[in-house]
Amino acid sequence: MGANQTFSIASIPADGVGKEVVAAGRRVLDALAGNSNGKFAFDWTEFPWGSEYYARTGQMMDPKGLEALKDFDAIYFGAVGWENVPDHVSLWGLRLNITQNFDQWANIRPVKFLPGVQSPLRKADNTELDWVVVRENSEGEYAGLGGRNLSGRGPGNEVALQTALFTEKGCERIMRFAFDLARTRTVKKVSSVTKSNAQQYGMVLWDEVFNRVALDYPDVQTESVLVDAMSAKFILKPEDLSVVVASNLNADILSDLGSALAGSLGLAASANLNPERRFPSMFEPVHGSAPDIAGQGISNPIGAIASAALMLDHFGLHAEARRVEAAIEAATGAGHLSRDVGGDATTEDVTEAIIKALTLAPAAV
């Protein structure tokens, strides 16, 4: 019997441990589909883009790659970066090439504290902590505007300009996204991250738009916090957080801090969303390609598998997404921990434990 619904997914493992964790996530999703009583299935198409592709072709992805990707239901991404390609070339040539051209303007990065994983944050031992960072993903400090000039003046005289872009449209749409998300959570609160005391143009516009948008959500608590103070708040008062909305750079840094507080970057999931669904959205773990452990079979697949759960939510399979998250918690709670979180389990061990927990749970009807 065929599946009632088949989702077409472009798989881009890319570099390093990205290949290992994407393979793990695909196994979990296929196991979930196989236990769905024919409710859904996944049709995978893998693309070989990344640093190895660059070594052969001089490009990070096929020049017609965006055209090839645009009709998929979603993109499942691994990690990008290797020693043969400068980091800014690999990032802009592949990942940012996709996120920018597909207007994946909303990036969400949940901060999850898992059972069995020891957090360096002492407060996590006896306080319920659960927040999500919402990142403006299309402009801000990563708009790619600027340039390098005046090198003809000789050594030591070159000038580089990196321009941060803030538009009313960009600020408003990410803030409304954050407020709408907050309305779905137990604690209905949005914390805006700013640096308008020093960045008197772009971030003052950010603040003004936040204050205006907040008027349309009287049921949601708000606060505006300078980014340096917010980094301290992540550590000292994380129980006050629910939804944190920030610009591209600030959210990138803060979400990594949140993941480290949860125990490891290897646990962190993310979704790059085009909420209007004009283009496919892309789901990826937060960690990098980790050349130091790539190929050893010891990378943590949880970030990639939790990203797969975010993809299930995007497809409207909310009960199935919760099953995957529950299976992750069951695996870590039972002590199936990879080396980055103090255990000795391999990538295969953790993946198998999650699949086993999935098969023990009842399938959604």
Length of the chain (residues): 365
pTM recorded for the entire structure = 0.94
Cα 149 to chain centroid distance, Å, stands at: 34
3-state secondary structure of 294: coil
Q: Which residues contact 348 (CB under 8 A, 6 or more apart)?
A: 24, 297
pLDDT at position 81: 95
Binned average pLDDT, 10 residues per bin, the chain of 365 residues = 81 97 98 94 97 96 97 97 93 95 98 96 93 97 92 92 96 98 98 97 98 98 98 97 98 96 96 98 95 96 98 97 97 97 97 94 54
pLDDT at position 359: 85
pLDDT at position 360: 79
Residue numbers annotated as active site:
142, 195, 228, 252, 256
Residue 269's nearest CA partner among 278, 279, 280, 282 is: 282
Q: Where are the alpha helices (DSSP H) in the chain?
A: 18-34, 51-57, 65-69, 87-90, 96-101, 168-182, 202-214, 227-236, 248-262, 302-314, 318-333, 347-360
Cα 36 to chain centroid distance, Å, stands at: 26
pLDDT at position 363: 55
pLDDT at position 202: 97
3-state secondary structure of 72: coil
Q: Alpha-carbon distance 88 to 192, whole Å? A: 28
The answer to whether 311 touches 271, Cβ cutoff 8 Å, is yes
- At 348, the amino acid letter reads E
pLDDT at position 286: 94
Cα 91 to chain centroid distance, Å, stands at: 15
Backbone angles phi, psi at 103, to 5 degrees: 45, 50
pLDDT at position 59: 96
**Residue 272, token pair as written in the block:** 């790059």
